Every structure is written in C-alpha cells, then in structure tokens.
Chains A and B, each alone.
Chain A
C-alpha cells in the first residue's frame, strides 16, 4: 500500500466522524447559537419528529399508509394535559400515560382497520382523526369541548428529594432533544432487529412473507400500536410545550405534516425522518411564513415528491454521506 493510499484512507475515516461530532455539538449548543425563535422552531420540529418516527415504521418499513397519526397525537396531548391539569403529575408520568393510552386505543382501532385493503384502510384511519375531533369537541365534561384545556403546567420532574420544573424555552429544548434522541434510538433498535427485517418483508411482498411463516397480521397490528405510542408521547410534549390543547389537535393537516416529514425525508430511513422534521417543520416555522403559504408549499412538495422524488431526500443524504466518507 502506497503512502498516498494510506493518506486517502485516513481522510475517509476522518470526515464522517467530525461531521457527526459537529452535528452533536450544534444540537447541544443550538439555544446559545440561534435566537430564541430558532430554539422554538427546533422544539416544534422535535415534537413532530416523534409521531413521524412512528409513522415511518408504519409507512416506510411495513408499507401501510396511515392518516391516523394525528388521532393518536391528539389522544396523547389530551391524556398528558388532563393529568397535568388535574393531578399535577410529573412529566415522565404524563408522557408514559400518553404513550400507553395512545397504544391502548390503537389496539381496538387497528384490529378492524388492518383487515381492510389499501384505500379503505386509508379512509378508516382518516375517520379516526375526524371522530377523535368530534369526541374532543363533544365530551365536554372531560375535554371542555371547543374551549380545550388551557394553562397546562410546565413539565416538572420529581425524583425522590430532587424536584425541578422545565420552565424556559432552553430547558424545554434539552428535554425535547433528549426524548427525540431516545425515540430515534428506539426506532433504530426496532429496525435493526429481526422484526425490522420482517417488517420490510411485509412491505415488499405480504403474501410471500406470509408463506415464509411471518405472522404478517400480528406484525402489522404491533407496528400500528408502536407507531401510536410514538405519536402519543409526541402529543404529551405538544401539550406541555404549548400549554393548551384544543380539538384542533385532531386534524388531518397534522397527519399530512407527519406524512410529508416521512416521505419528504425518506420513508424507510431514520436519518431521513430526522432531517425531514428539521426541514419541513423546523425551517417553515423559523421562516415565519403565513400558514396559507406554508400549506401551499406543503402541497407542492407532495406533488414533487410523488412524481419526481419518490424516495424523498434520503438518496441525496446518502450520497452526501458517502461522499464525505471518501467513497468513489
């Protein structure tokens, strides 16, 4: 091996690690680099990243197009909000309860829905959002109807004698970042496991997977529940960050946003979802464009994605990653 080759090899190893390190440092130092508004935008991106991660398991890995994610997001938001308002429970209790309740709701909803074929399944999942909104509006004794929940306390932690409240934007950012990192790790573990391979098999060809002994129905139900848990935890963050929850948490526009994150970032890739949350939620929030313009941009994005970038940004990201890694 000549000296030049060795030098190149060193360069290959050197570039990815520093970049990853820089990204970590930027993520950790973000509140001190950018303005408060940037931090706020990043928090919103992190909140939406959770349901998007769940949706990615469903759409990207198992091949099930679902619009139900906003329903579980809403369930989580209300669960956390109600607990915090009525019982003042610590955040980790609220978040866990939100995730579990969303998952528990996904079981009875998923059993009939997953028996349906493509189009009917999509419609049924859309129905969950619409019915969820109606329940939130009309179950007034619990949800306070159109008024929604307000003055949801800031998240607080109580671990033995130690107790503190996450009050500022900066501290909330670190909490959201930690939860986002945990969620990303969890998705990575699921996808890397043999179950992840089975999910991909179901996406690629359900009948073939079935004929090779994969219990496709149980996997689909389980992934539907897992994705709801992610959405529920995301909803709890949403409730605690905005401190208000209204029936409009259940809206198709949120499901669409999550879908755009997944498909735009790159369905079936983890980095794509992280990138997608930053781009489609964080950036549009930071740009402070009017909601109408943002939705028009989303609409055009969807069209571009469907017809020209079927795989989203993932291939571009991969090429970049390979390039800085020194691959040919």
Chain B
C-alpha cells in the first residue's frame, strides 16, 4: 500500500516534469506578452509529430528524431511568431485569447488534415526499466526528470547571465520602461515565444515513448493541463509554475489510482477553480517574475 503511494508520487513527479517543461514556456510568454497562449499545447503536438515522422517515414533514430521534432516546431513557431505573436504586443487580453485560439485551430486541424485523425504508434526511446533506489523506472522517465531539472536550471542561468535572458526578465517586469530604455520588445517577444514553443516540442518528443500514441488532438489536452498550472503558479512566475506543475502531476496520478482514471483529466481545472475561490490571484505571486 505504502509503496504504491510512493510509486504513484514518483509517477506524478514525472508527469509534473512533462507539464512543467511545457508550462514554463507558456508562462514566460505570458510574462512578456501579457497574453495566454491557447495554442501552446499544439507545439507539443507538432514536436511529437515531427519526431514520429522522422522515425516512421524517414527511418531516423530516436536521438535524431528529437532534433527533427524540435527544429520543425521552431520553424513553425518562427512563422507564427512573426505573423501573429509580435502583433499582439500591447493588444488587449481578449485579442490574445482569440488569436491564439485561432492558431490552435489552424495548427491542430492542418495536422489532422495532412496525417489523418487516427492514433499513431510511436516506436523509439529508452523504455527498458532501470532500477533506482529500489524503484524500477523506465529510463525514458528518468530522462524526462533530468531534462526538466536541466531546463529550469538553464532558464535560471539564462535570465541571470545572458543578454536576451536579461531582456526577457526586464520586459516581463515592466514593458513600458523597456520601450523607453530601447529594448526591442517585439524581438524579445519573438525569442521568448520560440524558446517556449521549442521547450513544448521537446517535452512532447520526450513523452512520446512513454505515451506511445500520437494523434492530432493531443495538443489540446496538454493545453488544458497547462492552463490551470500557469494560473496556479502565478502568471509569469517561473518557479511558481514548477511547483504548480509538480502538484498537479502528483494530484493527477493519485486521483487516477484512488478515485478513477476517468477523473484524471479534470483534476487540473477542478483544482484551479477551487483555488481561485480561495485565492483569486494564484498560489504564487504574479509580481515575482522570473
């Protein structure tokens, strides 16, 4: 009994890591743009499809497919960023919601139109179990945990030391000032957006061997999981997002085991609504940006 609980918590942390990598990009985009990206899960889906295409059609190895998945997503993100996201600088919140909803519809249905709506099988990845501290865990899951930690450490270093990172932090703290000081806000927005989309794609490619099935609607599900996370984490707050993702991952895993699998996908929004009633501004400060 006790060991299953621990096992479920560990599984939850892995799921939380997947969400965290996706959500951190979404929350950073909110930081610089003050807009919720409803299409964010679609980049997760694009990354997965890119990798699946590389393995299935091109016969590449899983390692190479990671690169194909992420790179193809970056290209799409560049186009979307140029045509849409940069225009959203200074636009009202509704405009952001509607424009990104539009992008989500276009991306998702284009992929379904091209590759068909059915489930595809993803083969590849490191699925053989490893034994760590008495637990048996698929190597792929350990990889996800490690990548998640690296991503967050990397982001922390980037916003502290790199020029672009510092600009991102500055814009998310105060857009008006940055315009005055001469920071190229649209450029920062584009870079943040591409970075976020690439992270989402990476998360998708890393998860594909665990989830196995690949389908056009998978991005929407991820969007619905990450939306509550970034609100709970305090919009724009990177560390808050990390913890919120872990909380949700663990909660989902426990609910799936002890309440019922069918309730898993509702945990996020149910938690969010309960939390909003208790603390309307999120669990973590929205002032503390990254």
A–B interface present (Cβ within 8 A)? yes
In the complex, whether B285 has a CB less than 8 A from a CB of chain A is no
**Complex alpha-carbon distance, A115 and B273, angstroms:** 12
Total CB contacts across the A-B interface at under 8 A: 112
Interchain CB contact under 8 A, A123 and B263: no
In the complex, whether B277 has a CB less than 8 A from a CB of chain A is yes
Interface 0/1 of A20-54, CB less than 8 Å to B: 00000000000000000000000000000000000
Query: Taking CB as reference atom, which chain A residue is nearest B220?
Result: A252
Interchain CB contact under 8 A, B272 and A123: yes
Which of B51-59, B98-106, B156-164 interfaces with chain A? B98-106
Interface magnitude class on chain B: 35 or more
Measured CB to CB, the closest approach of chain A to B223, in angstroms, equals 10
Interchain CB contact under 8 A, A299 and B113: no
User: Given the known A-B contacts A122-B97, A296-B110, are A130 and B105 also in contact in the complex, defined by CB atoms under 8 Å?
Assistant: no
In the complex, whether A307 has a CB less than 8 A from a CB of chain B is yes
Interchain CB contact under 8 A, A293 and B93: no
In the complex, whether A303 has a CB less than 8 A from a CB of chain B is yes
Query: Taking CB as reference atom, which chain A residue is nearest B95?
Result: A306
**Complex alpha-carbon distance, A29 and B99, angstroms:** 38
In the complex, whether B7 has a CB less than 8 A from a CB of chain A is no
In the complex, whether A160 has a CB less than 8 A from a CB of chain B is no
Interface 0/1 of B81-116, CB less than 8 Å to A: 000100100010111011101111110111011000
Interchain CB contact under 8 A, A127 and B273: yes
Interchain CB contact under 8 A, A307 and B270: no
Interchain CB contact under 8 A, A131 and B113: no
* Residue in contact with B273 in the complex, picked from A131, A256, A303, A305, CB distance below 8 Å: A131
Measured CB to CB, the closest approach of chain A to B224, in angstroms, equals 6
Q: Which of A119, A124, A293, A305 has the most CB of B within 10 A?
A: A119
Chain A residues closer than 8 Å to B108, beta-carbon distance: 295
In the complex, whether A106 has a CB less than 8 A from a CB of chain B is no
**Complex alpha-carbon distance, A296 and B108, angstroms:** 8
Question: How many A residues touch B, CB cutoff 8 Å?
Answer: 39
* Residue in contact with A122 in the complex, picked from B36, B87, B104, CB distance below 8 Å: B36
Interchain CB contact under 8 A, B270 and A131: yes
In the complex, whether B78 has a CB less than 8 A from a CB of chain A is no
Interchain CB contact under 8 A, A130 and B36: no
Query: Taking CB as reference atom, which chain B residue is nearest A310?
Result: B95
**Complex alpha-carbon distance, A293 and B110, angstroms:** 8
Interchain CB contact under 8 A, A120 and B280: yes
Interchain CB contact under 8 A, A256 and B269: no
Interchain CB contact under 8 A, A292 and B113: yes
Query: Taking CB as reference atom, which chain B residue is nearest A109?
Result: B273
List residues 280-317 of chain A with CB under 8 A from any CB of chain B: 290-293, 295-296, 298-303, 305-307
Interface 0/1 of B41-82, CB less than 8 Å to A: 000000000000000000000000000000000000000000
User: Given the known A-B contacts A118-B93, A296-B110, are A302 and B102 also in contact in the complex, defined by CB atoms under 8 Å?
Assistant: yes
**Complex alpha-carbon distance, A120 and B232, angstroms:** 10
In the complex, whether B206 has a CB less than 8 A from a CB of chain A is no
Interchain CB contact under 8 A, B280 and A116: yes
Measured CB to CB, the closest approach of chain A to B49, in angstroms, equals 15
Chain A residues closer than 8 Å to B104, beta-carbon distance: 299
In the complex, whether B165 has a CB less than 8 A from a CB of chain A is no
Interface 0/1 of B260-271, CB less than 8 Å to A: 101101100110
* Residue in contact with B228 in the complex, picked from A112, A127, A302, CB distance below 8 Å: A127
User: Given the known A-B contacts A115-B280, A127-B228, A296-B113, are A305 and B98 also in contact in the complex, defined by CB atoms under 8 Å?
Assistant: yes
Interchain CB contact under 8 A, A134 and B265: yes
Interchain CB contact under 8 A, A299 and B266: no
In the complex, whether B248 has a CB less than 8 A from a CB of chain A is no
In the complex, whether A209 has a CB less than 8 A from a CB of chain B is no
Chain A residues closer than 8 Å to B282, beta-carbon distance: 120
Interchain CB contact under 8 A, B273 and A112: yes
User: Given the known A-B contacts A65-B97, A127-B273, are A306 and B102 also in contact in the complex, defined by CB atoms under 8 Å?
Assistant: yes
Chain B residues closer than 8 Å to A138, beta-carbon distance: 260, 262-263
Chain B residues closer than 8 Å to A292, beta-carbon distance: 109-110, 112-113, 117
In the complex, whether A126 has a CB less than 8 A from a CB of chain B is yes
Query: Taking CB as reference atom, which chain A residue is nearest B270?
Result: A131
Instruction: Beyond the given A118-B94, A306-B95, please list 4 additional residue pairs across the A-B interface where CB-CB is below 8 A.
Output: A120-B281, A138-B262, A252-B220, A299-B103
List 5 tightest A-B contacts by C-beta distance, closest first: A302-B102, A299-B105, A127-B269, A299-B106, A134-B266
* Interfacial residues, chain A to chain B (CB-CB below 8 A): 65, 112-113, 115-120, 122-124, 126-128, 130-131, 134, 137-138, 252, 256, 259, 263, 290-293, 295-296, 298-303, 305-307
26 residue pairs bridging A and B, Cβ less than 8 Å apart: A65-B97, A113-B276, A115-B280, A118-B94, A120-B276, A120-B281, A123-B228, A123-B231, A126-B227, A126-B269, A127-B270, A131-B266, A131-B270, A131-B273, A134-B263, A138-B260, A259-B101, A292-B112, A292-B117, A295-B108, A298-B102, A300-B102, A306-B91, A306-B102, A307-B87, A307-B95
